[in-house]
Amino acid sequence: MNVPFLDLKSQYLSIKDEIQEALNSVLEKTAFAAGPFAARFEKEFAEFCGTKHAIGVGSGTDALWAALLAADVGPGDEVITVPDTFIATAEAISVCGGRPVFVDIEEPTYNMDPARLEAAITPRTKAIIPVHLFGQMADMDPIMAIAHKHGLRVIEDACQAHGARYKERRAGSIGDAGCFSFYPGKNLGAYGEAGAVVTNDDEIADRIRMFRDHGQQKKYHHAMVGWNARMDGFQGAVLTVKLKYIDSWNVSRRENAATYGRFLADGADGLIPPVEADYATHIYHIYAVRVKDRDTLMDALGKKGISTGIHYPIPLHLTGAYRSLGYKEGDFPVAERCAAEFVSLPMFPELTSEQIHYVADAIKEWKKE
C-alpha cells in the first residue's frame, strides 16, 4: 500500500464541478486581479474567523509583513517569536527592518512558552508573534496579558491554524491581527499562492489595504510606500468554494488524529504523539510525532510506501540566515530537542482508517526491530 503525505487530487475531485464553475465565472467576468471574487472571499472569511475585516494578499508571508508594517514595526524594533516555525515568520520581521527575538517553546503544545515571554521584552520590543504551530493555538490569555501590560502589539501567525479555536474563539481573532497562508497544502488551500490578514482594528485594516495596492488610497493617490500584494480573482473564487467545507475537513482531520492515537497506543513505546491542550481545538494541519532516531523510522516507512516529512529540522536561531543574531546551540533547548525528533506522518481529510492502520503497523514493526 502507498500512503501519500498529502493528497490534493482526492480533495479536488470531490469539489471539481464547483471549482470549474467558480473558475469559469472569473473568466467570464475577466476579474483577474483582486476584484469581486477576492472581495467575496474576504467577507466570508472575516465572518468565519469572527473578525470585522479580512484583507486578501498574495501569500502568508505578505500577510505577516503587511501586519507588522501596519503595527508600525520598523528599523531597530524587536519582535518576539519562536524558533520552531517556518522562516517566513522571522523573514517578515527582518524585511520590516526589525530584529527577531526568540523565546523557547513549551511542551506538549510546541508553541510559545508564556512563562519565558516577559524576560525577552526590552525597551525596543514592539510586537509579539505567537505561532499556532501544526494547527493548535498558542496559550493566548497569558500572552495577551503580558502584551497589554507592556503596550505591545500581538500578531497571530495562524498560517497553519485555519479554524482552530482557543476557548471557542477562532484563530486570528484574539490579537491585533491574524495572518493566514493559503498555500495549496494548508487546511484551507488555494490553487496557487494566497494569504490574508484578519483584524478587528479599522486602522490596521485600512493600512494593509493600502499597502497591498502600492500604498493607494484611491487610484494614483499614494499615501504610503506600498507593494503589489493583492489576492487574484482565481484564488478568491477557489477559496470561496473551499471555505464551505473547511469545518467538515477539520473534523475529518481530528477524527484521523484520534484514529492514529488508538492505533499507536500499544506497541509504539518511545513515540510521542501530539497532545491537544485543554483550551484548544486542534485542527491537525500537521500530525507530528516525536521519536529518537527518526531517520531510520522515516527510511523504514519509506520502504513500505509511506511518505513522511519533517517540520522543521533546523530551529531558526541555528540557521545561516540568522547566525548574525548571536544565538547558539543550547539557547532554546526545548525547540532544539523537538526539531531533532519531529516526524510528520500522513494527514489529510481523505486519509482512510485502513491507511492509518497501515502506517501504525509499520511503526510498530520498526519498533520491534
Peptide bond into 123 cis (omega under 30): no
Res. 269: pLDDT tops 90:
no
Q: Is residue 1 part of a domain?
A: no
Q: What pLDDT, in 10s, does the model give residues 146-185?
A: 999 999 999 999 999 999 999 999 999 999 999 999 999 9
Res. 81: pLDDT tops 80:
yes
Last residue of a domain, one of 226, 243, 260: 243
Q: For the domain that residue 154 is a member of, what is the CATH number?
A: 3.40.640.10
Residue 114 in 3-state DSSP?
helix
* Pairing relationship of beta strands 125-128 and 153-157 according to DSSP bridges: parallel
- The whole-model pTM stands at 0.97
Say whether both 314 and 222 belong to one domain: no
Res. 14: pLDDT tops 80:
yes
d(CA 65, CA 15): 32
Q: Is residue 67 part of a domain?
A: yes
> By the 8 A CB rule, do 207 and 69 touch?
yes
Residue 328 per-residue DSSP state: -
Phi and psi of 259, rounded to 5°?
Answer: -65, -45
Average of per-residue pLDDT values in the chain: 97
Last residue of a domain, one of 202, 221, 243: 243
Mean pLDDT confidence for 60-87: 98
Say whether both 187 and 257 belong to one domain: no
Domain limits for position 295: 247-368
Res. 44: pLDDT tops 80:
yes
Model pLDDT, residue 54: 98
Residue 239 one-letter amino acid: L
Domain count across the chain = 2
Q: For the domain that residue 331 is a member of, what is the CATH number?
A: 3.90.1150.10
Model pLDDT, residue 233: 97
Model pLDDT, residue 218: 87
CB-side neighbour CA atoms (13 Å) of 149? 10
Model pLDDT, residue 225: 92
Last residue of a domain, one of 243, 274, 306: 243
Model pLDDT, residue 107: 95
Residues in the chain: 369
Model pLDDT, residue 359: 98
Mean pLDDT confidence for 304-319: 98
Model pLDDT, residue 266: 82
